[in-house]
């Protein structure tokens, strides 16, 4: 009965010579929000495409609801909702029709489909837009409608591929709020993102992926504890005074890293650092708590992708 | 390559895709029907009435009666072809409608089949609309015309499937220009719509035999004039075999293009 909602073992994907996913293992438990984090080209979307039954596996095993994806794609898809990365709402149909026509793909009877469409438009605050055409909607509205569309079959598992990329903060927070509401009502969520704030706000557990491999796995807090100290100091590199400053930090347990024009110092002894640097007031620095982004950059490196 | 020869698995859900297209079409069907009707009627008036004074009867038919049955099928060809090239390509690439549908229980094979069925329906409709004009006009009168809907449907499926193969390969809209100028237009002129193929050199007739429209026009003229012979069965068989092969291939090619 405790079969995970998704179980991937040794999952691989190759495209004509290019290996996008190199044999990864992960499980998504019922009722959790699971995140796949990674830079562009890490293999996140490819992994999700396989879970959606969109992309055939090159190797390994993938079970969704305990069913092998290549054998039972229809059964699985009937119980799953997908919010894609790119808008693929039907521009030939109105807002309401988008949901009603989508419901028909799931064999939902017409009357029931209309009821669900109305209810879901209310849920994503688009009831007034019911008869509008898709191109008249803002980016945030389109994304909300995509979320509503993914819910039309009352899915047990919702897959979201970068659900808030490109949205303004208001729209982003509204989507997060809706997703947390869905989780509370018992749905399982699996999402990809490269937005660390999103991962921290939504995910119970996440994996960090790069170059087709999983680098680490855990709750946001576990990952923070495992990979970075509690505080970060960022100094602008250069100058004799800075060298003096850094030398007076000797003896403090810390890790430092230089990237471009910035020196990062990770430490749990923030107060001691602040005390010792007080006399260097002319040197500007930033002091903040370590975030998932620090973990992410530490694990995936700082070089630019793409 | 082996995957292209496998029989595509298409179930009842292809109809849901057909319904989606019907729903969008119903929004502007009046304009669409006027378009379907206007062009062939213009051809009839221009060529049939305008030219007929200079052209003797062909096979015992006044020129306008001679071209009317072929124009119905040319209209079916155009409608099905347009729908399954520009229409299907837009849904597949620009609008990503296919991507949205195939994460539901509807499979990619059913999406392709649904679009072919829809293209066929548009072709069918175009021909029927013209037939509805030809009969009261007195340009087609044989009781054999009761079989015409069957011919229209098969023709629609044939041209829709053919076009879908082109769409599966198209990198952009511009690519369709090749198909229209190298395949569709030659078919329009050299399939016996406007003059008997017997007036052409043997090699052109051979090429024409390989053109799907030739066989559809043969049957159409037979049904419209009542001049029905057993050779029309061969034309029908040709169309059936070609349609099955093209449809089969089209569905597998679309699948190959979308599923990576």
**Is B99's Cβ below 8 Å from some Cβ in A?**
yes
Neighbours of A209 (CB within 10 A): 26
Query: Looking at residue A17, what is its pLDDT?
Result: 82
Q: pLDDT tens digits, residue range A204-239?
A: 999 999 999 999 999 999 998 888 888 898 888 777
Chain B residues lying within 8 Å of A90, measured CB to CB: 20, 24, 95, 97, 100
Interchain contact, A77 vs B16, CB within 8 Å:
no
Residue B23, token pair as written in the block: 């729903």
Burial class (CB in 10 A: 0-12, 13-18, 19+), B257: middle
**Is A77's Cβ below 8 Å from some Cβ in B?**
yes
Interchain contact, B105 vs A77, CB within 8 Å:
yes
**Nearest-by-Cβ selection for B101 from A56, A87, A105:** A105
Residue A166, token pair as written in the block: 């490109």
Q: Where in chain A is the domain with CATH 3.40.50.300?
A: 6-219
Pair type for strands A157-161 and A59-64 = unpaired
**Is A53's Cβ below 8 Å from some Cβ in B?**
yes
Query: Looking at residue B154, what is its pLDDT?
Result: 98
ipTM for this model: 0.90
**Nearest-by-Cβ selection for B105 from A15, A90, A106:** A106
Interchain contact, B96 vs A77, CB within 8 Å:
no
Distance CA A170, CA A65 (A): 34
The angle formed by the CA atoms of residues A294, A233 and A266, to the nearest 5 degrees, is 55
- Establish, for the pair of chains A and B, how many residue pairs have beta carbons separated by less than 8 Å: 62
Q: Are A216 and A223 in contact (CB under 8 A)?
A: yes
Interchain contact, B100 vs A78, CB within 8 Å:
no
Chain B residues lying within 8 Å of A91, measured CB to CB: 95
**Is B26's Cβ below 8 Å from some Cβ in A?**
no
**Is A14's Cβ below 8 Å from some Cβ in B?**
no
Chain B residues lying within 8 Å of A77, measured CB to CB: 103-105
Task: Return the CATH architecture of domain A229-289.
Answer: 2-Layer Sandwich (3.30)
Distance CA A143, CA A257 (A): 38
Query: Looking at residue B158, what is its pLDDT?
Result: 98
Interchain contact, A88 vs B260, CB within 8 Å:
no
**Is A56's Cβ below 8 Å from some Cβ in B?**
yes
Interchain contact, B23 vs A93, CB within 8 Å:
yes
Q: How far is A55 from chain B (nearest CA, A)?
A: 6
**Nearest-by-Cβ selection for A104 from B19, B259, B260:** B19
Query: Looking at residue A297, what is its pLDDT?
Result: 86
Structural domains of chain B, count: 1
Question: How far, in whole angstroms, is CA B145 from its chain's centroid?
Answer: 18
**Is A142's Cβ below 8 Å from some Cβ in B?**
no
Interchain contact, B27 vs A92, CB within 8 Å:
yes
pLDDT tens, chain A, 306 aa long: 578 999 999 999 998 888 999 999 999 999 999 999 998 889 999 999 999 988 999 999 999 999 999 999 999 999 999 999 889 999 999 999 999 999 999 999 999 999 999 999 999 999 999 999 999 999 999 999 999 999 999 999 999 999 988 888 888 898 899 999 999 999 999 999 988 889 988 999 999 999 999 999 999 999 988 888 888 988 887 777 777 878 888 888 888 888 877 888 888 888 888 888 887 777 778 888 888 888 888 888 877 766
**Is B3's Cβ below 8 Å from some Cβ in A?**
no
pLDDT tens, chain B, 260 aa long: 457 888 888 999 999 999 999 999 999 888 888 887 888 888 888 887 788 788 888 888 888 889 999 999 999 999 999 999 999 999 999 999 999 999 999 999 999 999 999 999 999 999 999 999 888 888 888 999 999 999 999 999 999 999 999 999 999 999 999 999 999 999 999 999 999 998 889 999 999 999 999 999 999 999 999 988 999 999 999 999 999 999 999 999 999 999 88
Query: Looking at residue A1, what is its pLDDT?
Result: 53
For residue A103, the chain B residue with the least C-alpha distance is B104
| DSSP code of residue A139 | H
Distance CA A180, CA A182 (A): 5
> Which class is domain A6-219?
alpha beta
B211 CB-near residues (< 8 Å, 6+ apart): B186, B187, B190, B191
- Report H helices in chain A: 44-51, 73-78, 95-105, 110-123, 139-150, 169-184, 196-202, 220-227, 240-247, 270-277, 292-300
Distance CA B157, CA B134 (A): 23
Q: From residue B242, how far is each of A241, B179, B223, B249 by CA, in Å?
A: 83, 18, 21, 11
**Is A54's Cβ below 8 Å from some Cβ in B?**
yes
Domain residue limits at B177? 2-258
**Is A82's Cβ below 8 Å from some Cβ in B?**
yes
Q: Where in chain A is the domain with CATH 3.30.70.260?
A: 229-289
Interchain contact, B103 vs A153, CB within 8 Å:
no
pTM for this prediction? 0.91
Q: Residue B69: left if φ>0, alpha if ψ -120 to 50, beta else—which one? A: alpha
Interchain contact, B99 vs A97, CB within 8 Å:
no
Chain B residues lying within 8 Å of A54, measured CB to CB: 99, 102-103, 259
Closest to A224 measured CA to CA, from A161, A275, A288, A173: A288
Closest to B120 measured CA to CA, from B76, B85, B165, B151: B76
**Is A70's Cβ below 8 Å from some Cβ in B?**
no
List residues bridging with A61 in a β-sheet: A9
From the candidates A57, A90, A99, A148, which should be mutated to test the interface with B, based on the most B CB atoms within 10 A? A90
**Is B255's Cβ below 8 Å from some Cβ in A?**
no
Chain A residues lying within 8 Å of B20, measured CB to CB: 90, 101, 104
3-state helix, strand, coil in chain B (%, to 5): 80, 0, 20
Q: What's the sign of the alpha-carbon dihedral A118, A121, A122, A127?
A: negative
């Amino acid at each position: 009965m405790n079969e995970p909602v998704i179980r991937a073992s040794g999952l691989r994907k190759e495209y004509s010579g290019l290996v996008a996913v190199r044999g990864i293992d992960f499980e998504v438990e019922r009722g959790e929000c699971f995140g796949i984090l990674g830079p562009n080209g890490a293999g996140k979307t490819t992994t999700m495409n396989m879970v959606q039954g969109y992309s055939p596996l090159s190797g390994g095993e993938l079970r969704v609801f305990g069913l092998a994806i290549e054998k039972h794609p229809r059964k699985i898809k009937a119980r799953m909702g997908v919010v894609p990365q790119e808008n693929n709402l039907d521009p030939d149909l109105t807002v309401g029709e988008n949901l009603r026509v989508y419901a028909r793909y799931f064999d939902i009877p017409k009357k029931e489909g209309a009821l669900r469409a109305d209810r879901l438009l209310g849920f994503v605050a688009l009831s007034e837009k019911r008869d509008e055409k898709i191109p008249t909607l803002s980016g945030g509205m389109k994304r909300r409608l995509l979320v509503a569309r993914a819910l039309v079959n009352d899915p047990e598992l919702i897959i979201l591929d970068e659900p808030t990329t490109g949205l303004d903060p208001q729209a982003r927070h509204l989507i997060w709020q809706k997703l947390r509401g869905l989780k509370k009502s018992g749905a399982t969520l699996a999402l990809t993102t490269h937005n660390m704030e999103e991962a921290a706000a939504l995910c119970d557990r996440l994996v960090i992926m790069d170059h087709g491999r999983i680098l680490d796995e855990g709750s946001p807090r576990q990952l923070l504890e495992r990979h970075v100290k509690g505080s970060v100091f960022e100094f602008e590199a250069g100058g004799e005074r800075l060298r003096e400053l850094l030398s007076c930090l000797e003896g403090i347990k810390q890790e430092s890293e230089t990237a471009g024009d910035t020196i990062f110092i990770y430490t749990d002894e923030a107060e001691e650092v602040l005390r010792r640097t007080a006399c260097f007031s002319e040197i500007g620095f930033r002091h903040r708590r370590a975030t998932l982004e620090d973990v992410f950059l530490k694990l995936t490196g700082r070089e630019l992708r793409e | 390559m082996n995957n292209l020869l496998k029989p595509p698995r298409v179930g009842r859900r292809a109809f849901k895709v057909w319904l989606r297209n019907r729903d969008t079409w119903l929004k502007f069907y009046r304009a669409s029907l006027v378009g379907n009707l206007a062009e062939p009627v213009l051809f009839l008036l221009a060529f049939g009435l305008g030219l007929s004074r200079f052209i003797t009867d062909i096979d015992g038919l006044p020129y306008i009666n001679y071209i009317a049955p072929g124009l119905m099928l040319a209209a079916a060809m155009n409608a099905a072809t347009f729908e399954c090239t520009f229409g299907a390509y837009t849904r597949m690439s620009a609008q990503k409608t296919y991507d949205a549908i195939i994460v539901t229980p509807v499979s990619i094979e059913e999406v392709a089949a649904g679009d072919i069925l829809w293209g066929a329906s548009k072709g069918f409709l175009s021909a029927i609309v013209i037939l509805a004009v030809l009969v009261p006009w007195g340009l087609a009168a044989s009781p054999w015309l009761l079989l015409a809907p069957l011919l229209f449907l098969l023709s629609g499926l044939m041209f829709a499937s053919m076009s879908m193969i082109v769409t599966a390969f198209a990198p952009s809209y511009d690519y369709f220009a090749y198909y229209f100028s190298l395949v569709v237009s030659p078919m329009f002129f050299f399939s016996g719509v406007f003059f008997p193929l017997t007036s052409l050199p043997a090699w052109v007739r051979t090429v024409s035999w390989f053109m799907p429209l030739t066989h559809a026009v043969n049957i159409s003229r037979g049904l419209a004039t009542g001049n029905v012979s057993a050779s029309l069965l061969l034309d029908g068989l040709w169309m059936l075999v070609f349609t099955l092969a093209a449809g089969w291939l089209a569905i597998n090619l679309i699948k190959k293009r979308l599923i990576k």
